[in-house]
Amino acid sequence: MKNMSKWCKSTFKKNGLIEKIKESSITTSTAEEMLLKFMQEHTEPFTCALGGNSVYMDRIFIQREMPKVAAHLHYRTVDVSTIKELIRRWYPSIYEKLPPKKLSHRAIDDILESIEELKFYQSNVFIPLPNSVEEEGTAAAAKKEKEVGEEKHEAATV
């Protein structure tokens, strides 16, 4: 916690996270093992992209503090805030209809808000084309993504 930025200290004090951290007996190492176990139960290695709003700093933290989790993740990131910025510039009328965010900056709230935001983009911007071969392509794309992820992971560990 001593290395937190002013923004983090201020935000996490307001939302109660600083107190939760101080009260918790879960170490970063234990949290890493718990998260990795959860990910292994629900995803194949190198297929799970890190996703959410402004997750660049999350990836840095994970790489530094939770290398086993970082090794399980796909090398790609789905940054919802990038999509938001594109929508803001390209489709301002749709951007204005975005549901408001709570800005609680707590993990589960942020995850659920990011999922809802992506659902909004999916139904309002990324509308499937008629007669698309979307379903056929999804399985093939997933297989290819896994292969590419494994190749990148192998290259990074050599």
Catalytic pick among 42, 72, 74, 105: 105
153 is catalytic: no
Closest residue by Cα to residue 44 from 153, 156, 118, 158: 153
In whole angstroms, give the CA distance from residue 123 to residue 31. Answer: 35
Which active-site residues does the annotation give?
105
